[in-house]
């Protein structure tokens, strides 16, 4: 009777209507996602991903780049009837299909627990012994089995989503991690069609973000926004781990040039393309200023091909062109990045980056599986298939144009490789991770006979399952996955409000 009265009241009716609309919107998103998935699978089967070392220098018998920095000698230890799938199952609030919660017996041989206190990632005094509070092995010093629970993993992560640096793939990992644990994600408001919070300005308008419990900080940030430490600190505690990612500047810039010229071209980029329609890549490399408007109202934030990685990480955009010639200002910016971020990943070594991130955050291997997203596939006859002609003069011109990004990348790359070289049994875990990724890829794209993929226990992971539902989530495009996260978050918020209302009544 009480329930009927609640629904009959105007407030109760509005509440029920809102929930009803959200659930139907949720269903529509899932149906669109299912259609997108069918298209994605077809494309990926035509253009299969190659699972090979992240860097060509790792192929054959040649040593990996980080091994020259490694203090560890090579170890001789060896890491010891079909159901019909329905995307509608993802709608249920209590669905266990998205990375179910669990405690996990941990047999990670890296010998470390996750960080509980923030420490500088690239601090030269940050030794292996200091990194973790105690050594993890199959048994502790008392001979008892060591078990890590959910509380052992770091759950508050701020990710600076740098454009065209494999950041959409990492975003997918973070969103799936957050949805599995009902964490608060800083997302654009429901009515915003873009998945970016703001990719032209550092300001985050409170009216443009999704509803969340009042008085509570957010847990995860992984959408595009120009990083500003003070602005981000309004929404996240200082204890949240700050993560960023970089890519070799030539690859990153040419990827951005092709993507944005075809998808969302600023006026200056369109003008440059019209000037070099038959070979825009080499036209840009030799005359980059033809693709840039120095008078854009957003400054360098309005461009995607002018030191965009540095822009995304918060460099001062005033008098930007003169900054490229001011080495002291560039060094001050690099120092700022080093102080503000806990981990700097390198997308050219993406798998290595994910293993390093997993170790730092205390996550499981299941948490970092992925199928790469937002990868450009260029037709052979396209003008974007032309190879860059890198003459000495062209390289000089481009390096001058992208000087800040080059200084940034060349500062953090050797630190990243040295950090990997210091990690215990890193290559063994990396090899296991790549085998798991290959199995997941084959299962999600090729194997249509099984409903479940079992990943066996090893020295680097407990046994876990990959379902068709997880495949769907990994292959959703960015906008669909962000919309899914919005709907789940709002449904969880409505449930919490309902519980509070019931308690008060």
**What angle is formed at CA 254 by the lines to CA 397 and CA 329, rounded to 5 degrees?**
55
Tokens 């964490």 belong to 183
- Tens of pLDDT, residue by residue over 208-236, are 888 877 778 899 999 999 999 999 999 99
Give the closest residue to 442 by CA, choosing from 353, 152, 450: 450
Q: Is the separation of the CB atoms in 366 and 433 below 8 Å?
A: no
**What angle is formed at CA 164 by the lines to CA 403 and CA 235, rounded to 5 degrees?**
95
Are β-strands 220-221 and 241-246 bridged in parallel, bridged antiparallel, or unpaired? unpaired
Are β-strands 220-221 and 157-160 bridged in parallel, bridged antiparallel, or unpaired? parallel
What letter does residue 211 receive in the DSSP assignment? Answer: -
- Tens of pLDDT, residue by residue over 181-215, are 999 999 998 877 788 888 788 888 888 888 877 77
Distances (CA, A) of 162 to 53, 226, 245, 307, 401: 22, 9, 7, 11, 18
Number of residues that make up the chain: 505
| Segments forming the whole domain that contains residue 8 | 2-504
Q: For residue 30, what pLDDT band results from cuts at 50, 70 and 90?
A: low
Give the closest residue to 473 by CA, choosing from 180, 146, 151: 180
Tokens 């300001």 belong to 203
Please count the structural domains in the chain: 1
pTM: 0.75
Cα 140 from Cα 133, distance rounded (Å) = 13
Tokens 């789940």 belong to 488
Other beta carbons less than 10 A from residue 426's beta carbon = 22
- Residue 91 is predicted with a pLDDT of 32
Q: Is the separation of the CB atoms in 163 and 199 below 8 Å?
A: yes
What is the rounded average pLDDT for all residues in the chain?
A: 78
Cα 114 from Cα 133, distance rounded (Å) = 8
- Tens of pLDDT, residue by residue over 254-275, are 999 999 988 888 888 999 999 9
Cα 255 from Cα 340, distance rounded (Å) = 27
Give the closest residue to 56 by CA, choosing from 65, 47, 69: 65
- Residue 471 is predicted with a pLDDT of 93
Q: Is the separation of the CB atoms in 120 and 342 below 8 Å?
A: yes
83 or 28: which carries more pLDDT confidence?
A: 28
Q: For residue 101, what pLDDT band results from cuts at 50, 70 and 90?
A: very low
């Amino acid at each position: 009777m009480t329930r009927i009265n609640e629904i009959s009241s105007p407030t109760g009716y509005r509440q029920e209507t809102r929930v009803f609309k959200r659930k139907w919107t949720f269903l529509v998103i899932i149906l669109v996602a299912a259609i997108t998935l069918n298209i994605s699978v077809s494309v990926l089967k035509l253009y299969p991903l190659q699972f090979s070392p992240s860097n060509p220098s790792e192929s054959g018998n040649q040593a990996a780049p980080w091994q020259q920095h490694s203090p560890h000698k090579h170890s001789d230890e060896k890491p010891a009837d079909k159901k019909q799938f329905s995307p509608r199952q993802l709608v249920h609030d209590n669905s266990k299909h998205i990375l179910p919660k669990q405690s996990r017996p941990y047999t990670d041989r890296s010998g470390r627990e996750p960080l509980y206190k923030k420490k500088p990632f690239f601090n030269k005094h940050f030794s292996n012994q200091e990194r973790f509070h105690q050594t993890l092995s199959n048994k502790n010093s008392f001979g008892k089995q060591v078990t890590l629970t959910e509380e052992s993993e770091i759950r508050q992560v701020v990710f600076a989503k740098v454009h065209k640096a494999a950041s959409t793939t990492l975003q997918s990992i973070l969103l799936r991690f957050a949805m599995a644990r009902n964490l608060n994600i800083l997302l654009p408001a429901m009515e915003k069609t873009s998945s970016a919070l703001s990719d032209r300005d550092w300001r985050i308008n409170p009216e443009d973000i999704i509803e969340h419990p009042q008085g509570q900080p957010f847990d995860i940030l992984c959408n595009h926004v120009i990083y500003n430490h003070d602005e981000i600190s309004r929404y996240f505690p200082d204890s949240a781990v700050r993560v960023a990612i970089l890519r070799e500047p030539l690859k990153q810039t040419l990827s951005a040039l092709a993507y944005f010229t075809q998808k969302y071209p600023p006026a200056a980029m369109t003008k440059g393309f019209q000037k070099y329609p038959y070979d825009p890549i080499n036209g840009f490399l030799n005359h980059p200023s033809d693709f840039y408007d120095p008078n854009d109202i957003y400054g360098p934030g309005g461009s995607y091909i002018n030191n965009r990685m540095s822009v995304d990480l918060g460099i001062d955009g005033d008098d930007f062109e003169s900054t490229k010639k001011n080495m002291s200002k560039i060094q001050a910016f690099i120092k700022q990045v080093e102080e503000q971020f806990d981990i700097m990943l390198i997308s050219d070594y993406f798998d290595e980056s994910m293993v390093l991130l997993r170790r730092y955050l205390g996550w499981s291997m299941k948490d970092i599986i992925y199928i790469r997203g937002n990868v450009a596939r260029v037709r052979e006859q396209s003008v974007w298939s032309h190879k860059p002609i890198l003459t000495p003069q062209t390289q000089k011109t481009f390096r001058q144009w992208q000087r800040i990004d080059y200084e940034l990348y060349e500062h953090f790359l050797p630190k990243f490789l040295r950090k990997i070289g210091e990690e215990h049994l890193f290559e063994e875990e990396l090899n296991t991770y790549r085998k798991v990724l290959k199995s997941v890829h084959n299962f999600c794209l090729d194997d249509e006979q099984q409903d479940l993929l079992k990943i066996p226990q090893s020295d680097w992971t407990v046994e876990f399952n990959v379902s068709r539902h997880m495949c769907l989530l990994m292959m959703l495009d960015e906008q669909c996955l962000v919309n899914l996260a919005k709907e789940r978050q709002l449904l969880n918020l409505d449930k919490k409000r309902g519980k509070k209302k019931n308690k008060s009544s």
